[in-house]
Every structure is written in C-alpha cells, then in structure tokens.
Structure 1
Amino acid sequence: MPTQRKEFGRRGLSRETPSQRGQRPSHYSSGHATAAYAPAGGSALPFDDEDGFSLWAVLTNTLALFFSFQGRIGRLEYWSIGIARCVLLLGLLFAFISSTQPALAEMSQVSVTNALFMSGTGLVYTALFIAGLVNYWSLEVRRCHDRNVSGLLLLIMFIPIIGAFFGLYILIVNGFFAGTPGTNRFDTAQGLAPVFD
C-alpha cells in the first residue's frame, strides 16, 4: 500500500498517487496573470471589493462582541472585556461623584436623588451603567454557552440570598473553567472559524 502524504493547508490526506506527485502540468494559462495588470498607458483597473467589508460591518461586529447573547466566548475575552468594563464604569463613577460632590453637600436627600437622575450628567451615567449591565449579562450568557449550559440558568441570581452564592459560583466557573472542546449546541456560524480547525 503506498504511503499517503499530508499537505499543508489541506484537510485530510492527498488523493494523488506517488507517480502523480512529480508531474507538472503540460500547459500554463496566463489569463489570470495578465488580467491583474492594465495595458501600458491605460488607466488602472477598477478595484473589486468582494469581501463585503464596510465600516457598518465593523461597527455591528464590535457591538455584537459586547452586547450579543448568542454564540460563545473564551475565558480571555471574558476577562479582558469584563475588566475593561469595570475600569471604565469605576472611572466614570469617580468622575461623576468628584464633579458633583461640592453641590451635593448642601442638598437634602430628595434633592440629591433628583439632581443625580434628572440632570444631563446623571442620565448619561445611568445610560452607561445600563449598557455595562447588558454587557455583563451578555458575557455571562456566552460563557455559559461555551460550557454547553443554557444562559437561562443565570436567572437563579435573581433569587434572594441564593442568588448571591450562585453569582459567586458562576464567577468561578465561567472565569476559571475551560469551555466545551469542539462544537456544542450553542455554536453560531460566526463562531466557527474554519481557518483554525
């Protein structure tokens, strides 16, 4: 039985026989090579962008990375996005409190609440806090998906007392345990990169 040789960049074993390996094609076509160049003195050929790249696609893919509830993410993305979110929100909170601290000292409790949530700065911070909260739940759901567990399990965190312990359990499991190797029931078409198989 002839030995089969593996080729870089191809899946599986090559189907050619040992006698076909050393053969060269009897003719070469230069049609593809000349089509890439314009004739002398002519204008450049139009650029054909077939990959569908656009600024809108970049923006939607970035937002999907932070706010999508579908697919899977690994531990590196989980920690890097989570830490960046915490640093950003803590920095915004510090800036918000330090900018409003002098005015809040002389106000009553009702006035402080109205000033925090009815002012433009308070509304901006509230909107950013809600975006950070959605990002938190998105990361937790997708890490559960990576471990082949439904994200609906996270609703246990809303149960008083039990939810606090379950939240700590989820942080440990999602943050430190590896996900399911290979495919699982939560894979999406974007999550399966055939290049790295």
Structure 2
Amino acid sequence: MSNGYPTPYPSGPTGTPSNGEVALDQPLYGASFGQSIKRFFTKYATFSGRASRSEYWWAALFNAIIVGVLYTVFIVLLIGSIDPVTGEADSMGFVLPMLLLGLYGLAVIVPNIAITVRRLHDANFSGLLYLLVLVPGVGGLVLLVLALMPSSPEGARYDADGGAAAHANAFGGQTGYPGAPTGGFAGQNAPQGYQQPGTQQDFGQPGGPTRR
C-alpha cells in the first residue's frame, strides 16, 4: 500500500521496491504529509532527480510550522523577561529559543535548496534557476511561481540516470505508481494512447505490425 492506493503489482516495475513504495530516486505524486517529511530529510543533500508538488509543499508547511513555533516561543519569553519597572528585557530569557531557531535554520538550508532544485526539475526547469533567490524582490517571487508549476514528463532527464529508468517504466514494463497523476508522466504512467507492441490494438494502426 502507498498513499492509500492499492498496489497494482506484486513486485513493482524497474526502480520500484517490491513493497509497492515509490523509489526514492523517483518523485512521489500524491505524497502525504508524513511521506513528504521523511523524503525531505532522507534526501537531505540530493540535488538530482525530481520532487512532486505535494512533496515540496508539505515540506514547506512543516518548516513553516517549526519556525513559527520557535518564533512564538521567542516572542513569549521576550515579553515575559521585560522588567515592569525598568522596561528592560532580560536577554537570558530568550537566548535558548533564538539559538534553536538559528540552529534549525542552518540545519535545513541544504535540504531546502535540494528539494527546491528537485521541484524545478519535476517541472522541467534547470535547478540553476534557484539562483533567482539572489535577485532582490522579484527573484523569490519568480521562484515561487516556478515551484507551483505542474509536473512535466520531460523532467525525467534530470534524474540521476538521465531518465533511463523512467523511460523503461513508461515504455517497457509495468506502469502506474500508486498516486501518480494520469497523462503519461515519465517513470510512472505510459503516455496516453500508447499500446505495447504486438498487441491486438496495434494491428492496422500506423507503425503497428501488419497482419499476414
């Protein structure tokens, strides 16, 4: 089982573990919150490959929650440390949450960059576009828009194997990872209208075998 979808095959296609889970080197479409967080940290510094929109945005929500909680604790302790007489704050009262906030920010810098690069790949954009964050103002906004773009089958070229496994899944073996979007995403579903060579549907079709 994966994502609540029944596993359609006992052993899985190329690049898919036999337990029906989507391989880590493939994007997980329809990922749950827990699956996304697990992949976010498991693929800590993996810049090749792709990340689905669900993987990316669940991870973004998780990071926002953690930062929000730490910042709230910081504000509460800061206010609580203010001397009602002098109006001065006791710096020791909020050093710990500030320290935790800084350490967490440093800890997730690499995986945040990595998952953004993989999200760009999934939409068939170069990961170098992440450098747009260096452009003041509009750079971050443009990157946000790119992260919202839908998945593209051509993005498989950014996989570690150059999309070879994805191509094999789409055209040579069993297809249809649990949770994959329809429409022929490389590595998870065969393109719409594609028929395996040699089947009855191929006869009489352009490019198909000829009856004799």
Q: What is the TM-score of this pair, normalised by structure 2?
A: 0.49
Residue 107 of structure 1: which of 74, 88, 100 is its match?
Answer: 88
Structure 2 gaps of 5+ residues are: 1-8, 12-18, 20-37, 170-174, 178-187, 189-212
Structure 1 gaps of 5+ residues are: 1-7, 11-50, 52-59
1:182, CA displacement in angstroms?
5.5
Query: Quick check: which one's helix share is greater?
Result: 1
Specify the alignment match of 2:46 in structure 1.
Answer: 68
Superposed CA deviations along residues 112-152 of structure 1, whole A, max 9, x for unmatched, are: 5x976xx3442222101223443432221111121232222
1:180, CA displacement in angstroms?
2.1
1:167, CA displacement in angstroms?
1.5
Over aligned residue pairs, what C-alpha RMSD do you find?
A: 3.6
Q: Measure, in 1, the Cα distance between the counterparts of 2:45 and 2:107.
A: 8
1:155, CA displacement in angstroms?
1.3
Specify the alignment match of 1:188 in structure 2.
Answer: 160
Superposed CA deviations along residues 18-64 of structure 1, whole A, max 9, x for unmatched, are: xxxxxxxxxxxxxxxxxxxxxxxxxxxxxxxxx9xxxxxxxx96623
Kindly tell me the number of residue pairs found equivalent between the two proteins: 133
- Contact 1:67–1:135 (CA under 8 A) maintained in structure 2: yes
Superposed CA deviations along residues 1-21 of structure 1, whole A, max 9, x for unmatched, are: xxxxxxx889xxxxxxxxxxx
Q: Measure, in 2, the Cα distance between the counterparts of 1:62 and 1:143.
A: 12
For 1:44-123, what aligned pairs fall within 5 Å after superposition? 63-104=41-82, 106-107=87-88, 119-123=95-99
- Contact 1:89–1:132 (CA under 8 A) maintained in structure 2: no
1:178, CA displacement in angstroms?
1.5
Specify the alignment match of 1:143 in structure 2.
Answer: 119
Q: Measure, in 2, the Cα distance between the counterparts of 1:159 and 1:115.
A: 36
Q: Which has the larger radius of gyration?
A: 1
